[in-house]
Amino acid sequence: MAVMRPTLEVGIIGYGAYVPRYRLPASEVNRIWHDGEDAEPITEKAVPGPDEDTVTMSIEAARNALARAAVDPADLGAVWVGSESHPYAVKPTSAIVAEAIGAVPLALGADWQFACKAGTEALQAAVALVGSGMGRYALAIGMDTAQGRPGDALEYTAAAGGAGYIVGAGDESVALLEGSSSRISDMPDFWRRPGAPYPEHAGRFTGDPAYFEHVEAASWGLMQALGYGASDLDYAVFHQPNRRFPQRAALDLGFTREQIAPGMLVDRIGNAYAGSSLLGLSAVLDVARPGQRILHVSFGSGAGSDAFVWHVTERITARRDAAPRTEDYVRRRKEIDYATYARYRGKLQR
Partner 1 sequence: MSGPSQWRRRQQRLSLTGEICPQCSARLFPPRDVCPHCGGPARIPYALGGRGTVYSFSRIMSAPEGYEAGAPYYVALVALDEGPLVTAQLTDVDPEAVSIGMPVEMVTRLMKRDGDRGLIDYSFKFRPVLERMAG
Q: Active-site residue among 28, 60, 86, 116?
A: 116
Q: Is 101 in the site for partner 1 (CB under 8 A)?
A: yes
Binder of partner 1 out of 8, 70, 72, 102 (CB under 8 A): 102
CB 183 within 8 A of CB 299: no
Q: Verify binding: residue 337, partner 1, rule CB under 8 A.
A: no
Nearest CA among 136, 112, 130 for reference residue 122:
112
286 is a contact residue toward partner 1 (CB under 8 A): yes
Among 28, 52, 60, 84, the active-site one is 84
Report the alpha-carbon distance of residue 157 to residue 241 in Å, rounded: 7
Q: Is residue 84 within the footprint of partner 1 (CB under 8 A)? A: no
Of 10, 24, 47, 56, the one binding partner 1 (CB under 8 A) is 56
Interaction between residue 290 and partner 1 (CB under 8 A): no
> Which one among 51, 186, 208, 258 touches partner 1, defined by CB under 8 A?
51
Candidates 24, 25, 26, 53; binder of partner 1 (CB under 8 A) is: 53
Please say which residue, 59 or 65, places its beta carbon nearer to partner 1. Answer: 59
Annotated catalytic, 296? no
By CB under 8 A, tell whether 93 contacts partner 1: no
> Would you say 149 or 325 has its CB closer to partner 1?
325
Query: Is 172 a known active-site residue?
Result: no
Within 246-275, the residues that bind partner 1 by CB under 8 A are none
Distance CA 141, CA 211 (A): 22
Choice from 204, 244, 257, 334 touching partner 1 (CB under 8 A): 334
Query: Of 70, 88, 314, 318, which one interacts with partner 1 (CB under 8 A)?
Result: 88
Distance from CA of residue 17 to its chain's centroid?
A: 9
Does 239 qualify as catalytic in the annotation? yes
- Integer Cα distance of 108 and 316 in angstroms: 27
Interaction mask 192-231, partner 1, x per CB under 8 A:
----------------------------------------
Which is nearer to partner 1, 232 or 321 (by Cβ)? 321
Asked if 282 and 249 count as a contact pair (C-beta separation under 8 A), the reply is no
- String marking each residue 299-328 x if it binds partner 1 according to CB under 8 A: ---------------------xx--xx-xx
Distance of closest approach, residue 324 Cβ to partner 1, in angstroms: 5
Q: Could you give the CA distance from residue 181 to residue 203 in angstroms, rounded to a whole number?
A: 27
Task: Determine how many CB atoms are found less than 10 A away from the CB of residue 98.
Answer: 25
For binding to partner 1 (CB under 8 A), which residues are involved?
A: 21, 49-53, 55-56, 59-60, 87-88, 96, 99-102, 286-287, 320-321, 324-325, 327-329, 331-332, 334, 349-350
Query: Could you list the active site residues?
Result: 84, 116, 239
